[in-house]
Amino acid sequence: MSAGLVYAVGFGLALIIALIMTPLVKNFAFRIGAIDKPNHRKVHTRIMPRLGGLAIYIAFVAAFFIVLPFIPDGLLRPRDMNLIRALLAGGTIIIILGALDDRFELSAKLKLLGQIAAASVVVFGFGVKIDLVNIPFGEAMQPIEAWISIPLTILWIVGVTNAINLIDGLDGLAAGVSGIAILTILIMASLMGFEPIILLSALLLGGIVGFLFFNFHPAKIFMGDSGSLFLGFSLATLSMLGFKQVTIVSFVTPLLVIGVPLSDTFFAIIRRKLNNRPIFEPDKGHLHHRLRDLGFSHRRSVLIIWGVAAIFGGFAIIQSAVVQSSAANWVTFGVVCIVMFSLQIGAELIGIVDKTRRPVISLLNRMFRFKVEDANTRTK
């Protein structure tokens, strides 16, 4: 069986398994009491089953072991299998942690310790870590010492894992954003010819698409922390593994791939600091909350954020596609400037940090009025 056929079959198998498993997981969630009750912070008005991430995980793992015997010889090297084992081992710890939280609502500290444990398994158990960095306008690739790379890798995995968890507030939102990010990684890995990441991304994407049939508005089941933590962990690991072997890729690329959850998390931290509130205290100021406050429907809010995630993915693909050219550093610099400016303007327009403070928009308005008045004065 050719590599392309293995990827296609794996995607299809994961999708079908997710379609079969999600209703079963839904019934199981009700039976054990893994449910989400409405409250003042949540948009749903009835009791909903959680634990949906378990269906994605089962689809992903089952599809992998089904297609494993059909993978062409030589396609996956021993080092590649080590990367795959790292994702499977850490992902299993994360799914258990998330499932326990869906049932028993674990404390934030306990969940953080579990995430650090899963990240540590990846780093210490399988030796997977960020050991090379590419800084724009610097030399091609710089090695970093273990005392920096180990905490940096753990911080990256834990940070991205929580970023996906924070945006899981509307039907299909976290699953869709994660799916778009996975698709972006899949495209970029295909361009680079990195076989293990193509395979893992195809399987994970199939599980997400199958689950979305039941999770898009109006949802029949929530992915819960089991889903958001597993997808966040998988995204963090894949985005790190997918580009760590390729010396031409800038550190900006993985940041763009998961730009929506990372930017929402960043603005949440700023917002809570400005309001003198604990960083980990939940609020209703996230991107999806603000879109709903502005009058957008549930479904339209999700589609808008999906669109923003797709734009981030497009920037990541463009940035990586031209990174081999002589103008690569300038392209990276331009992409970063455009993204940062757009994020700031968008944040001020929807009030994700503060509903009244709009420093950049106010500055642009003053500059624009000054130019108009100055031109009128010169005309007179």
316: which residues sit within 8 A by CB, 6+ positions away? 184, 188, 253, 254, 256, 257, 259
Q: How far apart are CA 366 and CA 292, in angstroms?
A: 30
pLDDT of 124: 92
Sign of the dihedral through C-alpha 96, 185, 199, 324: negative
The per-residue DSSP string of 177-205 comes to: HHHHHHHHHHHHHHHHT-HHHHHHHHHHH
Query: Cα(155)–Cα(157) distance, rounded to whole angstroms?
Result: 6
Calpha distance 173→325 (Å, rounded)? 36
Structure tokens belonging to residue 101 = 């939280």
pLDDT for residue 2 is more than 90: no
For residue 35, the surrounding DSSP H or E stretch is: strand 35-36
pLDDT value for 379: 43
- How would you label 49-85 residue by residue, b for 16+ Cβ within 10 Å and e otherwise? bbbbbbbbbbbbbbbbeebeeebeeeebeeebeebbe
Work out the average pLDDT over 71-92. 87
Identify the residue with better confidence: 311 or 141: 311
Q: What is the pLDDT averaged over residues 372-378?
A: 44
Measured at the CA of 227, the angle between CA 278 and CA 257, to 5 degrees, comes to 80
Query: What are the distances in angstroms from CA 198 to CA 55, 174, 338?
Result: 21, 21, 29
Q: Is the pLDDT of residue 22 over 90?
A: yes
Side chain identity at 160, as an amino acid letter? Answer: V
Q: How confident is the model at residue 285 (pLDDT cuts 50, 70, 90)?
A: low
CA gap 16, 62 in Å, rounded: 11
Higher pLDDT, 65 or 196: 65
**Cα–Cα distance between 58 and 51 in angstroms, integer?**
12
Distance from C-alpha of 97 to C-alpha of 162, rounded to nearest angstrom = 13
Q: Residue 132: what pLDDT?
A: 57
Cα torsion through 223, 226, 229, 233, rounded to 10? -110
**Contact in structure between 238 and 185 (CB atoms under 8 Å):** yes
Other C-beta atoms closer than 10 Å to the C-beta of 126 total: 17
DSSP letter string over 146-189? HHHHHHHHHHHHHHHHHHHHHT--STTHHHHHHHHHHHHHHHHH
Report, as an integer, the average pLDDT of 169-175. 86
Per-residue pLDDT of 154-164, as tens digits, reads 998 998 898 88
Task: Identify the pLDDT of residue 73.
Answer: 81
Give the pLDDT confidence of 112-150 residue by residue, as tens digits: 999 999 999 999 998 888 765 555 544 555 556 767 888
Helix/strand/coil percentages in the chain, nearest 5? 70, 0, 25
Q: Report which listed range, 143-152, 196-205, 238-247, 363-372, is most confident.
A: 196-205
CA-derived radius of gyration, the chain: 22
Q: Are 239 and 254 in contact (CB under 8 A)?
A: yes
Cβ-Cβ contacts under 8 Å for 374 (sequence gap 6 or more)? none
Contact 229, 161 (CB under 8 A): yes
Name residue 284's beta-bridge partners. Answer: none
**In b/e form, how buried is each residue of 187-217, taking b as 16+ CB within 10 angstroms?**
bbbbebebbbbbbbbbbbbbbbbbbbebbbb
Q: What pLDDT sits at residue 372?
A: 40
Q: What size, in residues, is the chain?
A: 380
